[in-house]
């Protein structure tokens, strides 16, 4: 039967860093709080242990453990994420993937998310919802990422201090500090971090300063949560090189041509200063009724010297939302209804770039975006076995664009029609350990501002939203008293008006609608506890693996006289296999090992160029030393242990075949974390 979760500040519903446990955990996607096995959707979980199984500076390897998920880092600090192939329209940045942190939207009204602004140490868990989730999360066909951090209350006053220092290859340095306070009705955390790297390639250095404060206050029937952070991020952008250059010297940045200067000459880089503040109220209206509301405001100052221009952006974002949750134990049902509204105002000014300095004014634009969603969802459980979840939302996005620098500026409007997005999932418990599910979900994703007004400086108001149905079946659960945990899924997603990126001769992106695509695939995940809590040298051993089979192709795609129908979808590997073994020796020394095998990747819509397959080996060794009130963790690791010459983030359809952004060769890191309790 369904149970009502009492208000407790960001209660940790996930596994802790106990690596030997495969017990069922709870998920909160779609405003539910149920066992992972009983969620009628492909939902993956990353707990504290998963996020800390790799190096302390990048979230990329942890996300890439998940079947159907591919996260890339074109250069240090430049992330992009693909859930079931949504990378097709993301030459840089995170688009078409909705991201939340403790229920606050980090994605803005234009569909963009600056995921690289966060520090890995601030995130304690994540849920990844694969496929369209518009029935409750608004626009998007790729999926949803729910980031979590926790502030538990305590009957007695507790204080926790943490200090961390890491160093690594290519001038990598990181320091972090945090201070947590817990009382009976108040809990807070203040953290700071600084990251610096000289980078593997020319013109690829980065630095990031981050300051975060979160607090939770319990007042009678209310729980008030605050989240505030600011980040000052700078990273150089080396740009793409061709295959011959990559084979000769993968450290090269984009080279000069007879027409355009080099990345080093133009001092290409990203400067991003963002401040964010959000307030959330969880109001317990009755035994079975709650009202969750949030409001947030943030501002981004963005600066980008590029090969052909020097762009400044001033972005102001706001979000507002509320949802009513009604539960009945007697009827075994839950009803959720609410709305979400996102707002963005962007002032975009482009100058010429004269060796890293702004020159003559090219364009001065202003854009306003509004995105709203109204939704309702009903979950019903019959006889503790049949779980039915039905929801629908109404969604719309509205743009207003004006080129202020024109003598007679004309305001252009672009509004999507009000789009209904239904979702129905049915899950049946075959027994106490295994469940089967099926779902049908409709998703739509309008063009982001970075696609309507891309880096070439033109406005593409004719771009249509992507839309389509996803049909999916799955089987998941546990075997042999939770020794084996598994998750299998097959999905069939037909996407119409797919948005794909193109590049002009200067390397600037623009976007077009590419007809339709067929994105169907198989996903499999398994985790096996071979040894658990034994005395002796080898205390614990877990073997895990995930497989993604993605034979995606264009269904209809005509460009002039060229027909791309039947071609593999650009940027999506057909096969990805990630596997690993985690050991614990003498109940203390931990060794995490994994290998990520990616098949060749089509780099053009014509499928006339492919990136080679690669195998990425990663190892991390950690040893704790505990004293009375001080816990110490020493760790060291290696990335790209096989020393592969590969690109972790290709520029698809790139001009002059500059597809490749080579990742670092074999590199090492080490560090120490100290924790003090008071």
Q: Is position 14 within any domain? A: no
Q: Give the structural domain span for 618.
A: 26-677
List the CATH number of the domain containing 415.
Answer: 2.40.170.20
Give me the DSSP letters along 625-641. EE-SSEEEEEEEEEEST
Q: Is position 465 within any domain? A: yes
The dihedral built from the CA positions of residue 74, 80, 84 and 89, taken in this order, carries a sign that is negative
Q: Is position 557 within any domain? A: yes
Q: Is position 170 within any domain? A: yes
* pLDDT at residue 138 in the model: 87
* pLDDT at residue 316 in the model: 98
Please state, in angstroms and rounded to a whole number, the distance separating the CA atoms of residues 113 and 103: 15
The DSSP bridge pattern shows strands 98-101 and 143-148 to be parallel
The dihedral built from the CA positions of residue 23, 29, 30 and 33, taken in this order, carries a sign that is positive
For 48, phi then psi, to 5°, come to -55, -40
Tell me the per-residue pLDDT of 163-194, one tens digit each, with 9 for 90 and over: 999 999 999 999 999 999 999 999 999 999 99
Q: Is position 10 within any domain? A: no
The angle subtended at Cα 375 by Cα 443 and Cα 339, nearest 5°, is: 115
Q: Is position 617 within any domain? A: yes
The DSSP bridge pattern shows strands 466-479 and 484-496 to be antiparallel
Token match 């909705």: residue? Answer: 98
* pLDDT at residue 92 in the model: 63
Number of H helices, E strands in the chain: 6, 41
Q: Is position 495 within any domain? A: yes
Going from the first residue of the chain to its last (678 residues), give the mean pLDDT of each consecutive group of 10, the final group possibly shorter: 38 44 69 88 91 88 94 87 75 80 94 90 92 88 92 92 96 96 96 96 97 96 97 96 96 95 97 98 94 97 95 97 94 94 96 95 94 95 94 94 90 90 96 95 88 83 90 96 95 90 73 88 96 93 97 89 92 96 94 97 94 97 88 95 94 91 96 91
* pLDDT at residue 14 in the model: 47
* pLDDT at residue 274 in the model: 98
Nearest partner of 302 among 363, 234, 366, judged by Cα: 234
* pLDDT at residue 90 in the model: 61
Q: How many domains are contained in the chain?
A: 1
Tell me the per-residue pLDDT of 433-492, one tens digit each, with 9 for 90 and over: 999 999 999 988 888 888 888 877 888 888 888 899 999 999 999 999 999 999 999 999
668 has which bridge partners?
A: 638
What is the pTM assigned to this prediction?
A: 0.93
Tokens for 485? 């945990």
First to last CA, the chain: 40
CB-count burial class (<10 Å; 0-12, 13-18, 19+) for 500 = buried
Q: Is position 3 within any domain? A: no
Token match 């966060």: residue? Answer: 118
* pLDDT at residue 1 in the model: 32
């Amino acid at each position: 039967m369904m149970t009502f979760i009492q208000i407790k500040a960001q209660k940790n519903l996930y596994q802790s860093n106990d690596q030997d446990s495969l017990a069922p955990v709870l998920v909160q996607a779609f405003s539910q709080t149920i066992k992972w096995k009983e969620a009628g959707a492909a939902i993956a979980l990353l707990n504290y242990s998963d996020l800390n199984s790799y190096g302390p500076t990048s979230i990329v390897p942890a996300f890439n453990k998940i079947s159907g998920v591919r996260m890339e880092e074109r250069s240090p600090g430049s992330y992009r994420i693909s859930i079931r192939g949504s990378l097709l329209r993301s030459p840089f940045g995170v688009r078409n993937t909705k991201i939340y942190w403790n229920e606050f939207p980090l994605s803005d009204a234009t569909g963009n998310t600056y995921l690289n602004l966060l520090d890995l140490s601030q995130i304690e868990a994540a849920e990844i919802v694969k496929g369209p989730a518009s029935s409750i999360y608004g626009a998007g066909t790729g999926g949803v990422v729910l980031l979590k951090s926790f502030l538990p209350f305590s009957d007695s006053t507790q204080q926790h201090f943490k200090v961390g220092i890491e160093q690594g290859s290519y001038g990598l340095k990181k320091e972090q500090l945090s201070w947590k306070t817990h009382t009976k009705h108040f809990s807070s955390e203040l953290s700071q971090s600084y990251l610096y790297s000289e980078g593997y390639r020319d013109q690829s250095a980065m630095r990031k300063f981050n300051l975060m404060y979160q607090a939770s206050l319990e007042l009678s029937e209310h729980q008030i949560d605050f989240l505030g952070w600011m980040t000052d991020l700078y990273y150089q952008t080396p740009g793409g090189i061709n295959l011959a250059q990559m084979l000769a010297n993968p450290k090269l940045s984009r080279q000069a041509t007879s027409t355009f200067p080099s990345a080093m000459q133009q001092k290409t880089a990203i400067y991003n200063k963002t401040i964010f503040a959000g307030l959330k109220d969880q109001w317990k209206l009755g035994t079975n009724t709650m009202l969750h509301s949030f409001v947030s405001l943030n501002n981004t100052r963005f600066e980008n010297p590029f090969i052909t221009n020097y762009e400044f952006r001033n972005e102001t974002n706001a979000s507002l939302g509320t949802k009513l949750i009604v539960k009945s134990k007697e009827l075994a049902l839950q009803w959720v209804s609410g709305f979400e509204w996102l707002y963005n105002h962007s002032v975009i000014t482009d100058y010429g770039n004269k060796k890293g300095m702004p020159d003559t004014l090219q364009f001065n634009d202003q854009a306003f975006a509004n995105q709203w969603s109204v939704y309702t969802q009903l979950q019903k459980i019959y006889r503790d076995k049949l779980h039915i979840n039905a929801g629908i939302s109404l969604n719309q996005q509205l743009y207003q664009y004006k080129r202020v620098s024109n003598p007679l500026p004309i305001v252009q409007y672009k509004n999507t029609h009000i789009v209904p997005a239904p979702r129905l999932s049915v899950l049946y418990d075959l027994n106490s350990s295994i469940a089967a599910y099926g779902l049908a979900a409709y998703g739509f994703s309008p063009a982001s501002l970075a696609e309507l007004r891309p880096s070439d400086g033109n406005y593409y108001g004719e771009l249509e939203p992507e839309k389509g149905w996803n049909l999916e079946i799955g089987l998941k659960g546990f075997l042999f008293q939770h020794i084996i945990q598994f998750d299998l899924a097959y999905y069939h997603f037909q996407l119409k008006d797919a948005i794909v990126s193109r590049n002009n001769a200067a390397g600037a992106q623009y976007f077009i609608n590419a007809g339709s695509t067929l994105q169907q695939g198989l996903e499999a995940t398994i985790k096996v506890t071979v040894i658990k809590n034994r005395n002796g040298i080898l205390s614990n051993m877990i073997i895990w693996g995930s497989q993604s089979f993605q034979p995606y192709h264009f269904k209809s795609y005509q460009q002039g006289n060229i027909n791309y129908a039947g071609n593999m979808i650009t940027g999506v590997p057909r096969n990805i296999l990630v596997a690993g073994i985690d050991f614990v020796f003498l109940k203390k020394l931990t060794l995490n090992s994994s290998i990520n095998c990616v098949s060749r990747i089509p780099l053009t819509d014509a499928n006339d160029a492919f990136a080679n397959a690669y195998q990425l080996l990663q190892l991390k060794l950690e040893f704790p030393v505990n004293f009375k009130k001080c816990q110490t963790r020493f760790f060291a690791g290696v990335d790209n242990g096989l020393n592969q010459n590969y690109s972790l983030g290709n520029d698809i359809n790139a001009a002059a075949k500059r597809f490749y952004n080579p990742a670092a060769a074999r590199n090492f890191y080490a560090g120490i974390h100290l924790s003090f309790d008071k």
